[in-house]
Structure 1
Amino acid sequence: MSDHQMQSEIAELNSELEDMDDPREAYAKVLARIRHYRQAGMSVPHDLALIEKRLMTECMAASQGRD
């Protein structure tokens, strides 16, 4: 997969995530995508790792009633 394809895929995923109301659902979707990259033997794109960290923070805040 080329860098352009990865960036396009991440942009599409990010657009989908913006439409989701539940950060846990979005986080699960991102983790599935990360798992896909790892299973294919590819490194996880930096932008996807950043999205994962942001969503993890949002999930933690929501679980503590700080959303």
Structure 2
Amino acid sequence: MQIKISFFGHPKYNKYICTIFNSKFMGKNEKTSPKVASIASELLRNPKTPKKVKTVAASALTQTADKKKSKK
């Protein structure tokens, strides 16, 4: 399923948001992929990222898989 998003106003962000948004339509037990989580993290660290974009990115990061605990 492809979703076009243009309400963020800047074409630079549209491809990232489309990637994140496409991952948001997931089943109940699905998690955000590492690639999408990486993009979302990068967008959140950038001070020039618009607030709406950061909101979507933060939402994607809250649905990432938990890190595995290493056994010692």
Q: Provide TM-score, normalisation by structure 2.
A: 0.47
Instruction: Find the structure with the greater CA-based Rg.
Output: 2
Higher helix share: 1
